[in-house]
Chains A and B, each alone.
Chain A
Amino acid sequence: MKEEFYNDVALLDGLSEGDHRASKVIYTVYYPIISKWIFSKGGDAESAQDVFQDGLIVLYQKSKDPEFCLTCKIGTYLFAVCKRLWFKKFQQKHYQYELPVDFSDEEQPVSGNLRDEQQDVAYFLENEHNYEVLQRAMKELGEPCGQILKAFYIEKKSMQDIAAVHQYANMETAKVQKYKCLGRLKKIYFKLKQ
């Protein structure tokens, strides 16, 4: 773990390593700016928090991608992503009627990799939609499968711990069980998605 974040690169490294202090620095520095922009668009504190959280998830996912290299500042990227998320996701909820949104002005070239942001946000929204389906599928899946999958994939617990908690004879048995559960989850997921 790093002691200090000298610059954007160190901050991004910290974020990808899951260092909470990196997320805290990003939150402290950029949340006031982004929330202010969202308030100016008629959003409230809750939607500002939501947009920022989603934006940070996008940045986090990108930071883990070994091929990702930020060609602009973190702030620029994050702000562009949050703007896009706001327009795509939240604006319609808050307005009964749609104001003509001048995208050419709002999405002016804050950076050179605008197309990346567009793709990143589109990918995020798709995953988020799938995630909602997944949650319903998990519910239908029941126990102990739900718990095993949640512990392994979401809480990132080790197979050893999971084997111990669910009293499997050894790790191998737990592993076989986990893949069976994943197979079942997959079936339910695609049944729900249809």
Chain B
Amino acid sequence: MYFKNRIMLHRYNIEEWAEKYYNRQLTQEEKAEIDTLLEADVVLRKEWDEAMEVLAALAHASDAEHIRQALRSARQPEKAPGRLIAFIRNNWKTSAIAASFALAAISTVQYMNSSKEMGNSKSKFTQLSREVENIKNSQNSIIKTIEDKTLTPKAPEPQYDLGGTGFALTNDGYIATNYHVVTGTSDISIITQDNHTYNAVMVGYDAVLDLAILKITDKDFKFGKSPVPYNLKYQPSQVLGLKVFSVGYPQDNLVYNEGYISCERGYQGDSLSYQLEIVANPGQSGSPVIDKQGNVLGLINGKKSNTSGTTYAVRSKALLDLIGRLPDHIRITPPRSNAIARLERTEQVSQLKNYIVTIKTVK
């Protein structure tokens, strides 16, 4: 290789070139030229390697200082509440669930995307998002990961499309769903009842509560001509035994289910969710739980894996809390309509269906 020898590398300017090299400020040609020069000169090579080591140590010092400062400020209490979107409550019981989101391997609460019952009698919590393309494969691989802990390291998991359900918070495209439906995904698509697909982004979430709020990015988007027809702000004092129904997308078509609230507290006594007896299938994560007057009481988020009907739902109160903590530029007025309060069930569902959507994600 021939060089015009523009670079005069010697022991008095070697630091300068080393720094440019280290900071990736050189062109390909300059880099090649330096490499050639260094190959020819052992003394220079040694000086060069030493300069690089000192630069690396200095860069390390800088990084360490930056992170030390960042952590110092992270340990301080929040000055302006509502700025951050990841809200974590200091609650050990629920943070066990948070732990499982991050590190499924160390918790008994399992992270699943399919409905296949576990073969053991231990009661577990199964999240109900749906793997759309290849349910069987995904089941096998997930169950394998859970049972076979001595697996050897393998290539990254193949990409799966996951799905869930969401429901409208405002007519202009804010949607509530479960955090586990959209966590770790790069691309969120919303499919409405009339089979149109829209892009959406996550604008807020709470990993502990398993809630996420999405926004359809299309500015002109409307769910329907009228405002959202249900009431999110209703908090009944007596819920045990309350008859409820749910609509969601465990498959490509909307599915209706009904049941009742069987316990005022959710999984392991979680006070921000309910336990229901209702049929729920993968893909129904994020479906609204509605009473006969059209009040949304919560969102389905998981089920007990050794039973057929025991399901859990995050309470609407938790969702309202999350909405209240969003940054100021996100304006969500929770729906408060009694438009479907007096209708027949079939009419209610027909009015609702425009406001219930499928969520598909790509990891």
Chain A contacts of B153 at CB under 8 A? Answer: 109, 111-112, 114-115
B71 touching A29, Cβ below 8 Å: no
Judge if B75 is at the interface, Cβ distance under 8 Å. Answer: yes
Q: When A23-B74, A25-B86 are in contact, do A154 and B103 touch as well, CB less than 8 Å?
A: no
Q: When A60-B63, A130-B57, A154-B65 are in contact, do A28 and B86 touch as well, CB less than 8 Å?
A: yes
**Smallest CB-CB A-B distances: 8 pairs:** A75-B102, A23-B70, A109-B153, A27-B74, A24-B74, A153-B58, A127-B60, A130-B57
Question: Which positions 202-218 of chain B face chain A at CB distance < 8 Å?
Answer: 202-204, 207
Judge if B8 is at the interface, Cβ distance under 8 Å. Answer: no
What 1/0 flags go to B146-159 for Cβ under 8 Å of A? Answer: 00011111111100
Question: Which positions 59-85 of chain A face chain B at CB distance < 8 Å?
Answer: 60-61, 71-73, 75-76, 79
Judge if A110 is at the interface, Cβ distance under 8 Å. Answer: yes
B67 touching A153, Cβ below 8 Å: no
What 1/0 flags go to A1-15 for Cβ under 8 Å of B? Answer: 001111111000000
In Å, the complex CA distance between A20 and B74 comes to: 8
Judge if B106 is at the interface, Cβ distance under 8 Å. Answer: yes
Q: When A24-B73, A109-B154 are in contact, do A154 and B61 touch as well, CB less than 8 Å?
A: yes
Across the interface, A134 reaches (CB within 8 A) one of B57, B63, B85, namely: B57
A153 touching B61, Cβ below 8 Å: yes
In Å, the complex CA distance between A9 and B185 comes to: 9
What 1/0 flags go to A26-53 for Cβ under 8 Å of B? Answer: 0111101100110000000000010011
Shortest CB-to-CB span from B74 to chain A, Å, is 4
Shortest CB-to-CB span from B150 to chain A, Å, is 7
Binding site for B on A (CB under 8 A): 3-9, 18, 20-21, 23-25, 27-30, 32-33, 36-37, 49, 52-53, 56-57, 60-61, 71-73, 75-76, 79, 104, 108-115, 127-128, 130-131, 133-135, 149, 153-156, 179, 182-183, 185-186, 189-190
In Å, the complex CA distance between A101 and B68 comes to: 30
Contact stretch, chosen from B48-56, B124-132, B274-282, B286-294: B48-56
A130 touching B56, Cβ below 8 Å: yes
Question: Which positions 166-185 of chain B face chain A at CB distance < 8 Å?
Answer: 183-185
A4 touching B327, Cβ below 8 Å: yes
Shortest CB-to-CB span from A61 to chain B, Å, is 6
Judge if B99 is at the interface, Cβ distance under 8 Å. Answer: yes
B59 touching A153, Cβ below 8 Å: yes
B74 touching A153, Cβ below 8 Å: no
Shortest CB-to-CB span from A130 to chain B, Å, is 4
A20 touching B73, Cβ below 8 Å: yes
In Å, the complex CA distance between A37 and B63 comes to: 25
Chain B contacts of A30 at CB under 8 A? Answer: 102
Chain B contacts of A112 at CB under 8 A? Answer: 153-157
Judge if B105 is at the interface, Cβ distance under 8 Å. Answer: yes
Chain A contacts of B62 at CB under 8 A? Answer: 153-156
B54 touching A127, Cβ below 8 Å: no
Nearest-CB residue, chain A, relative to B58: A153
Across the interface, B84 reaches (CB within 8 A) one of A21, A134, A135, A182, namely: A21
In Å, the complex CA distance between A28 and B76 comes to: 11
Q: When A3-B327, A131-B61 are in contact, do A190 and B15 touch as well, CB less than 8 Å?
A: no
Q: When A23-B74, A32-B95, A130-B56 are in contact, do A179 and B68 touch as well, CB less than 8 Å?
A: no
A61 touching B106, Cβ below 8 Å: no
In Å, the complex CA distance between A23 and B76 comes to: 12
Nearest-CB residue, chain B, relative to A30: B102
20 contacts between A and B (CB under 8 A): A4-B202, A4-B327, A5-B85, A6-B201, A8-B184, A18-B70, A32-B98, A33-B95, A53-B67, A56-B67, A57-B67, A75-B102, A76-B103, A108-B105, A108-B149, A108-B150, A131-B60, A156-B62, A182-B51, A186-B15
